[in-house]
Structure 1
Amino acid sequence: MRVFGVTGWKNAGKTGLMERLVAEFTGRGVSVSTLKHAHHSFDVDPPGKDSRRHREAGARQAMLSSSNRWALMTELRGAQEPTLADLLARLDPVDLVLIEGWKRDRHPKVEAWRAETGHRLIAPGDPTIRAVAAKGDPGPLDRPLLDLDDTGAIADFIAAEVGL
């Protein structure tokens, strides 16, 4: 599987870019999966639902299934968070996996950056960031600068980078 990431600081536009890239690539006939890193406790299972009750009772894994989708939830119960490589190995094969987050991992990435957030660029000193997709002027760069709103150009860049 080809892997490419979208990284950046909070409110840089990562999730919006991911959403647009998934739509762009699937529109081109590319099969896509995504991985999103959460920096806080999250739960996709609402309180009171049967599967939530199973997990709260101590189940290590709870699987939900319907005619539309299935989901597997795993409780770490104090165990180490799986690595990105471990999580990628659990995905079904697709043409492209887009990863949101995981700034410090070594996969290739595009950095989403917006001047209005006031955050510094991550790209300087990080060779895994192959391009910056910006809204505003990030200043001089030693790698390609893309318009954060030009999803097609960003998708073209990623496709060229991963050989799609």
Structure 2
Amino acid sequence: MRSLRISTAVALVSLLISGAASAAEPKSLGQFRDWEAFVASDGGGKVCYAVSSPKKSEGKYSKRDPVLLMIARRPADKVYDEASAIAGYQYQKGSRPEFRVGKRRFVAEGAGEVAWPRKKDNRKLVNAMRGGATLELLGTSARGTRTVDEFSLRGVTAALKATARACPSR
């Protein structure tokens, strides 16, 4: 079920990352414990990303789309290991989603369904993920529903190595 949710959302992720409707079907680079790595082409070059779905989700909601945590590489845009999350709902306007790894907290920017750490915190968050066990994503939906999604970080380092090999730095 978990891999089905991830594979169902992979096409959406490719479109979000590339911003192009012509993105090629993503190809799996492998499953790495609780993470999977993919590569796709968006016309401007390769796009690679590691993605995971939550192990546990809390919140009183009646309907919610798939929730994903991902780390993307877009060498043509000089973007390497950019973290983001898809909440499965529209964030409340003005709300500040938050990533937590252990005792470290990273305030995020939220727009639509997507949250990403502040630019100055991205590298710190990804490094914390490499050394952490779990990540919590806290958010508030447009309807005011507070959610907490817990992701396992088992396999994230191996998944990031796979994306770095497929989409190396220029």
What TM-score results when the alignment is normalised by the length of structure 1? 0.27
What TM-score results when the alignment is normalised by the length of structure 2? 0.26
Q: Which has the higher strand share?
A: 2
Find the structure with the greater CA-based Rg. 1
